[in-house]
Amino acid sequence: MDTSRSVRRAVIGAVTALLVLALTALAGPTATADSHRPPAADPAAIRDWNVIATDTISANLGPTRPSGQVVIWHGFVSAAVYNAVVGIQRTYAPYKWRARGPVTASPEAAAVTAAHRVLVTYFPASQASLDAAYAGSLAKIPDGRAKRQGVAFGERAAGHLIALREDDGRFAPVEFTAAPAPGVWRPTPPAHQPFIDPWLAVLRPLLLTSPAQFRPGGPPALSSARYARDVNEVKTMGAKTGSARTAQQTATALFFGGNLAAQFQAAFRDHTARHHLDIADTARLFAAANASATDAVVTAWDAKLHYGFWRPITAIQLADTDGNPATDADPQWQPLLVTPPHPDYLSGHTTVAGAVTRTLTGILGTTHLDLNVPSEITGTTRHYDEADQLNEDMINARVWAGIHFRTADVVGCQTGSRIGVWALTHYFRPLRSAGLHAVPPARPNCPSDSAS
């Protein structure tokens, strides 16, 4: 009896061993629990479509449109791409979505599909070029189930984002109706254009609860010493001719005188490539930074519409009407750069920069940004090691350009920083241990005093 049992056990053991060997041979030497996952996805797909998005937005709005509208579309595209990628890879919490894609799906296919669908939806005039770019992107991804699943999930992610943005206030018939008076904005030379895209002030934010959530207190009173300091500084440092600016200060003013959204997109692409971020971390950086920038634009435009504060060119030319004995009128004064057609307070550039730098420092866990920022105006690139360096240059640039008071710049930066904190407190959080985390920076990114 014992001998029979022993023989049976030996036979069973041999058969089991043979089955294990057979399965191992079929699976291959690297088979794991993740053997059904596709190969690691290439994050270059996200950078490629960020370039396409930048070009498409520029083609439809114009490369130098003096409005924050450009930022909005980058926020929409980046949010959809982020959901498409992290819904498959499951490393970060999706943006206002609970859907999950199959882990076997291609994140690349999902990302390019989401970007394509959002751009075609909002810029149908560019469909032919977008379709061609999309076909080229898909051709780089091997055919098969992973690709099909990725395309399907990318369509779902884009559809969800588009549905979220229905009736969000875009292109609402908002007007600036305040009558001209001391301290009140009015169209500025040379074109005397009306307030551009005032609907941005009522646009439903991507992350915040309302456009006014972080609305700061108002600009300095016309009678205040602080206002006089602002006027006299920009009058001296921002003049087109006869300015006290150095050559380096003029170069800084010109450097940030163009399309800020395009400058930041290029810097994000360069950073994510040089630091070899994977596709989920790349999607997260673009989405968090661009969503924060979107809400910074909304917040800045809310303040512009609410306070309607006049621009330096108007304030200096009409200083004899402000009731402040410390300011003197110069009816011939002109700024270095043409004044954009919207009010001074808050500065859109510095609010966006404050939001972006605070978001990036939170994601990276350090104030060390390591950003290479290009300028199409000067044809140069500047390297920024630290967030506060970038913000200081941005604030000064708008004063030295003659188009903003320092208070509008500094308060804009501080307000943007608050938006960045909110963004990472409520969105884009890791679901498990991942390469990047939201960690508070070691020190503030913006100046604490508006005095120069």
Which pLDDT belongs to residue 27?
Answer: 37
CA-CA-CA-CA dihedral for 330, 258, 382, 408, to nearest 10? 50
pLDDT digits (tens, 9 = 90+) for 121-139: 999 999 999 999 999 999 9
Residue 158 and residue 208 in one domain: no
Has residue 324 been placed in a domain?
Answer: yes
Percent of the chain with pLDDT over 90: 84
pTM: 0.90
Has residue 219 been placed in a domain?
Answer: yes
Give the C-alpha separation, 370 to 273, whole Å.
12
Residue 220 and residue 339 in one domain: yes
Has residue 371 been placed in a domain?
Answer: yes
Give the confidence band of 5 by pLDDT, cuts at 50, 70, 90: very low
Has residue 255 been placed in a domain?
Answer: yes
For 159, the domain range is 44-164
Nearest CA to 290 out of 258, 263, 256, 265 is that of: 265
Give the confidence band of 28 by pLDDT, cuts at 50, 70, 90: very low
Give the confidence band of 449 by pLDDT, cuts at 50, 70, 90: low
Which pLDDT belongs to residue 125?
Answer: 98
Number of domain units in the chain: 2
Residue 54 and residue 156 in one domain: yes
Query: By CB neighbour count within 10 A (0-12 exposed, 13-18 middle, 19+ buried), where does 175 fall?
Result: exposed
Residue 288 and residue 241 in one domain: yes
Tell whether the model's pLDDT for residue 61 goes beyond 80: yes
Residue 217 and residue 128 in one domain: no
Kindly list the distances between the CA atom of residue 154 and the CA atoms of 80, 88, 157, 281, in Å, as whole numbers in the listed order: 8, 10, 5, 17
Give yes or no for a contact between 105 and 98, defined as CB atoms under 8 angstroms apart: no
Has residue 434 been placed in a domain?
Answer: no
Q: Retrieve residue 364's tokens.
A: 């990276």
Give the C-alpha separation, 5 to 138, whole Å.
60
Give yes or no for a contact between 20 and 12, defined as CB atoms under 8 angstroms apart: no
Which pLDDT belongs to residue 448?
Answer: 75
Give the confidence band of 399 by pLDDT, cuts at 50, 70, 90: very high
Has residue 18 been placed in a domain?
Answer: no
Instruction: Flag the least confident range among 36-50, 199-213, 325-339, 405-419.
Output: 36-50
Which pLDDT belongs to residue 35?
Answer: 40
Tell whether the model's pLDDT for residue 18 goes beyond 70: no
Residue 99 and residue 157 in one domain: yes
Give the C-alpha separation, 153 to 313, whole Å.
51
Has residue 298 been placed in a domain?
Answer: yes
**Which residues are CB-contacts of 160 (< 8 A; sequence separation ≥ 6)?**
80, 83, 97, 99
Residue 155 and residue 207 in one domain: no
Structure-token match 């504060």, residue found: 309
pLDDT digits (tens, 9 = 90+) for 252-311: 999 999 999 999 999 999 999 999 999 999 999 999 999 999 999 999 999 999 999 999
Residue 208 and residue 126 in one domain: no
Which pLDDT belongs to residue 379?
Answer: 97
Mean pLDDT in the chain? 90
pLDDT digits (tens, 9 = 90+) for 32-57: 334 455 557 899 999 999 999 999 99
Q: Is the dihedral of CA 287, 289, 290, 296 positive or negative?
A: positive
Q: What CATH number is attached to the domain comprising 333?
A: 1.10.606.20
Residue 351 and residue 227 in one domain: yes
CB neighbours (10 Å) of residue 49? 27
Kindly list the distances between the CA atom of residue 387 and the CA atoms of 354, 361, 390, 416, in Å, as whole numbers in the listed order: 9, 7, 5, 13
Residue 276 and residue 363 in one domain: yes
Percent of the chain with pLDDT over 70: 88
pLDDT digits (tens, 9 = 90+) for 87-100: 999 999 999 999 99
Mean pLDDT value of segment 7-25:
41
